[in-house]
Amino acid sequence: MSLQINCPNCGSRPVEEFLYGEIPVVPDSITDPDARDLDRAFMRSNTEGPQTERWFHLFGCRRWLTLRRDTRTDEIIADM
């Protein structure tokens, strides 16, 4: 079965109804403003493990939700 996402408004719905929304994170260790712009535009944390992410319920209530997912297993750890 494909990934199911728990929408606070619509209940458990298949992932195909949602749009993935990344939360871009520029590490604090990058201090130069130009380097921060470059990182913000192109670089990705590409987390291998649990990460917090946003999803938009495109074919549903059209609202954003937040959850934590383990990218190694696709398991949703927590709804937030």
List residues near other proteins by CB under 8 A. Answer: 1-3, 14-16, 19-20, 22, 27, 30, 38-39, 41-46, 48, 53, 69, 71-74
Give 38 or 80: the residue with its C-beta nearer to other proteins: 38
Eight-class DSSP state of 16: G
**Least spacing, CB of residue 8 vs other proteins, in Å:** 19
Sequence-distant (≥ 6) Cβ neighbours of residue 5 within 8 angstroms: 12, 13, 14, 15, 17, 18, 55, 65, 67, 76
**Least spacing, CB of residue 35 vs other proteins, in Å:** 9
**Least spacing, CB of residue 6 vs other proteins, in Å:** 15
Which tokens in the block code for residue 29? 């260790």
